[in-house]
Chains A and B, each alone.
Chain A
């Protein structure tokens, strides 16, 4: 069985500062990796995903994540955050041939302050 660990439950950061949200996974088979964002009182939205190919993936709003197979990590980064990035971020994994089931981490609350 696979698992996902998000070590940081909360990350406070000042606006325009860089941020990294950590995600590590455990799986005995190949995986697909996802980052979802949940704004207050809204559903989860896909931020970015790694399926294959380039290990560095980017979102349209400036986030990026890099798949590191040797370290079994998929950390999310943004060089300069905005107030509007305040949300809950979930890392998730699905295994190839696993029926598209997602296993989620416990989430990281990103709070951007002025």
Chain B
């Protein structure tokens, strides 16, 4: 199957700093990428939908100025958590959709963010 990578796999930062997470589709072009957040023992919650070359669409309750998403190419989307605070600590997962695999999204391995 198609491979999606995320970098870094885990990051620890101080409160008030910004953190960038990269999501790459390695062997296919992703027309759409999705960003999810997963708290311990909870489900994946969709944060935003990112389409190449256009602004991301955020889900209700997600602050677009805090979670900046850029989808500059068909193989790369980035999520920047700006001025991170301890409550932003979570597992962030991206997925990529090519439109060619029968509605299947391919998921990255996730990024564990810990804000001190």
Contacts and interface: CB of A to CB of B under 8 A. Distances in A.
A58 B102 CA distance: 15
Chain B interface secondary structure, helix, strand, loop or mixed? Answer: strand
Interface string B34-73: 1000000111111001000000000000000000000000
A93 B46 CA distance: 12
B46 A101 contact: yes
Contacts, number: 54
Interface residues of A, number: 23
A51 B34 CA distance: 20
Interface of B: 1, 4, 6, 32, 34, 41-46, 49, 93, 95, 97, 102-110
24 contacts: A4-B43, A9-B41, A32-B103, A36-B107, A41-B109, A43-B108, A43-B109, A44-B93, A45-B1, A46-B105, A46-B106, A49-B104, A51-B103, A90-B43, A90-B44, A94-B103, A100-B32, A102-B46, A102-B95, A103-B46, A104-B43, A104-B44, A104-B45, A106-B41
